Amino acid sequence: MALLKKINQLLLLLLVLTVCAILYNKVHQVPLALRNETVDLESPEEMEEEIPVVICAAAGRMGAAVAAISSIYSNTEANVLFYIVGLKTTIPHIRKWIENSKLKEIKFKVVEFNPMVLKGKIRQDASRPELLQPLNFVRFYLPLLIQKHEKVIYLDDDVIVQGDIQELYDTKLAPGHAAAFSDDCDLPSTHEMVRSVGMQNTYMGFLDYRKQAIRDLGISPSTCSFNPGVIVANMSEWKHQRITKQLEKWMQRNVEENLYSSTLGGGVATSPMLIVFHGKYSSINPMWHIRHLGWSPDARYSEQFLQEAKLLHWNGRYKPWDYPSVHTDLWENWFIPDPSGKFKLTRPDS
């Protein structure tokens, strides 16, 4: 009897403990929906790979950056993070423009570029002084400005994007390549345009082959050039190969020896990249860099060809926010007026 009594007491104790445990869980249990929010898991949007896009916002042409950003944002569902690079004096303007327009929904970071890094590295050239502006060299310093990303897209400000930027980001870079560019000889449809306005598409048009330092490179002057206005870059390879240091070396040599200038093909930022990346870059789909729209106020592509293009680039003197220029309607579709009224389009009737 005594043993039976002890067993009953033990069973009663276990029953009480079980009831207490159930009541405790009822009181303290977090609802499933709330627990899902507190688990250390990212939402689908956060898990989606971030696509970093670097664009400069320069004084006097800030509307270009706005139109480029607007076109990218409107044509993709991808998780894009814009790095908008400016000088200290221009940053407040571009920030207000974005925050007080329909672009306020974009994800962006404003990055200040310190022009002191260029001290002693730029040879003064009066023929096209706009090409000597500090922000023109931001592309040389991508790893210093963008820290946490393995792959980065850099775009000149005078572009609009008509395709899904995810497609450009998915460009495959071969092992050992720090960047991908679009060759100047890669798209037959543009050859007539190149010939009609006398543009250069070989190294001869960018480097001074009268100089021994250039001849010593062993690069044929007839080698096809590329345009660095659209870049897909691998940051690990860029740092491993010390690309920035290599570019700076050739900038300094140009100061001392005048190896290239803006009187040649396309300005002072392209030439050192042609040297450093010769034979060591991957290719971008040609339709992702249809350029030369700014080389002539008269020469035009066919409308059908432009509609098929993924990215349009007004490289050259004739910009779509100025007059004269061509295909301005395609650019203006994406332009967002400056809320402050400081930036205005130049048009025949303005």
> How far is the C-alpha of 64 from the C-alpha of 321, rounded, in Å?
7
Per-residue model confidence (pLDDT) at position 12: 62
**pLDDT surpasses 50 at 27:** no
Band (pLDDT 50/70/90 cuts) for residue 11 is: low
- What element of type H or E holds 264? none
DSSP single-letter state for residue 130: G
* CA dihedral sign of residues 99, 105, 106, 111: positive
Per-residue model confidence (pLDDT) at position 26: 45
SS3 call for 154: strand
Q: Give the pLDDT confidence of 80-132 residue by residue, as tens digits.
A: 999 999 999 999 999 999 999 999 999 999 999 999 999 999 887 645 666 67
Per-residue model confidence (pLDDT) at position 299: 80
**pLDDT surpasses 70 at 22:** no
Average pLDDT over residues 195-210: 78
Average pLDDT over residues 8-33: 52
Q: Give the pLDDT confidence of 40-85 residue by residue, as tens digits.
A: 334 444 457 999 999 999 999 999 999 999 999 999 999 999 999 9
Residue with tokens 């007059």: 323
**pLDDT surpasses 80 at 37:** no
Among residues 315, 229, 243, 232, which one has the least CA distance to residue 278? 243
With b for 16 or more beta-carbon neighbours within 10 A and e for fewer, the 320-340 pattern comes to bbbeebbbbebbeebbbebee
Per-residue model confidence (pLDDT) at position 39: 29
147 or 129: whose pLDDT is higher? 147
Per-residue model confidence (pLDDT) at position 205: 87
Average pLDDT over residues 183-202: 66
